[in-house]
Structure 1
């Protein structure tokens, strides 16, 4: 498919993360609702936080209840009437707690015309996919950083699964199996699926083509290669350079359309990615975090 041809004509110009032309991406406003406090996996590249400074996933100004999120949607649509997409991508994983699905149900009931989008690590995806579809979610992003348990164990050394901590390769095997199963189930239900893959030098940079091939076989439609932000357990690694990013995208595009406009959005983003930002108007200057906020 030519790069200038939209991958998803029905979403082009409506959903920035599924608009594959520059023109379509720059027309699309979205709103992220930070309703998900906890996470069920511990990734070496991830630090979740509440601040106004960082422009990256896992960060928000405050945490919302589902009912507060409905009020935020109403205010956001007044500030930015071109919003077509309401997404939930954190600050924790949306499927680790029930808040995201409750929020989607409330939003879909009031604004059924909005595109609903969920971003998840995929651990709970097989168990929750029917509920996800039932509340009106039509676009799904799953973060898949390896299909090799030995590599994944370096990226995600522990998970919480069935009320128990699982470590190392066993944790990696469970996560990968659930991700691939969840993607297949989501595809069978007709969801449009994008994969996010963090490009981590010396860890998974040689493995991107294999990831793309496997998730494509499972039913994914698009892949987004996200350069590592050196922090947390990978603070000692360099951010991948232009050549490494190009090589990864080249390997991935043998199997999937590659998304190239990612702005590494915050969990409370509002507006057109890289063009407009209404988060300050929505949330003000005050930071607000619940004391039970979990770092996995």
Structure 2
């Protein structure tokens, strides 16, 4: 599939597409290799809509069944993404799931969202699994800024903290970004705007990612929680102003919903997939009973 066609039907990369096409996030990746100071991962939270949470963690087999159900019901599914609840590249189940879906549904766009720590290490595995689009969350350029955002980093069996963690993560993120673009992937950069911490570096992230060839940037507001629970969430005007600044360097996404790790449907109209699957099973059991 050509790049233009992928973007045209990808609801996260195209504002027009998000009204027409659905996506599903498959929560098959519970483990994470970094600790962001703004992140709380919950696997059983049914009433919140934010990244890092899901009603349950799925096995690859369960994930494939969910995709089959949506395809069979013609839910206008165009994208299958893996975005957590941990980091997809820290979980082998990610690649098992991607390969299975790509074998059965090669027409679907496979997408992964990552912090980029393992991106260069596992890029070849991503490409072999059929992934064509990628989101990398990059929140800093300078190590002293990253040190304020991340508590620790676990890389190749070693746990880093402080400045060492910041330098390890930043080095891997920017190298991974360049390698992914060189490999022909469509790349979106997510940056969490954290007032008073990284607001001055967001435009620099946009410039560096833009000159390297990234396709889109998504500036998203901090959700105050965990160690950053006492910080202020950026206002709509602050986000809009930052996007306007960054637009000088690369295109900006403006329709993000900060989706859950088990999001399903058209952006802004997510379905409760647990209820959907339960209703499907009840329907199947009823048909078997009456027949």
In the superposition, the TM-score normalised over structure 2's length comes to 0.91
Q: Aligned with 2:80: secondary structure?
A: strand
Whole-angstrom CA distance in 1 between matches of 2:82 and 2:208 = 25
Q: Give the structure with higher Rg (CA).
A: 2
Task: Answer yes or no: is 1:87 the counterpart of 2:81.
Answer: yes
Deviations 1:19-38 (A, max 9, x none): 1x3x3221120011000010
Alpha-carbon shift at residue 284 of structure 1 (Å): 4.8
Partner of 2:194: 200
1:174 aligns with 2:171: no
Whether the aligned pair in 2 keeps the contact of 1:61 and 1:283 (CA below 8 Å) is no
Q: Tell me the equivalent position of 2:5.
A: 10
How far the C-alpha of 1:68 sits from its partner, in A, is 1.6
Q: Which moved more, 1:159-168 or 1:113-122?
A: 159-168
Query: Match of 2:286?
Result: none
Structure 2: gaps spanning 5 or more residues: 280-291
| Stretch moving more, 236-245 or 108-117 | 236-245
1:40 to 33, 36, 61: 33
Alpha-carbon contact 2:75-2:265 (below 8 Å) kept: no
**Structure 1 residue 209, shift from structure 2 partner:** 0.6
**Alignment check: 8 A CA contact 1:13 1:26 kept:** no
Q: Deviations over 1:213-240 (max 9, x none)?
A: 1122333111001101110011010100
Unaligned runs of 5+ in 1: 1-7, 286-296
1:67 maps to what in 2? 61
1:242: Cα distance to partner?
2.3
Task: Determine which structure has the larger helix proportion and give its number.
Answer: 2
Contact 1:129 1:186 in 2 (8 A): yes
* Distance across 1 between alignment mates of 2:150 and 2:278: 34
Whether the 8 Å contact between 1:13 and 1:27 is mirrored in structure 2 is no
Deviation of residue 164 (structure 1)? 1.5
Match of 1:31 among 12, 24, 31: 24
Give me the whole-angstrom Cα distance separating, in 1, the residues matched to 2:247 and 2:117.
Answer: 25
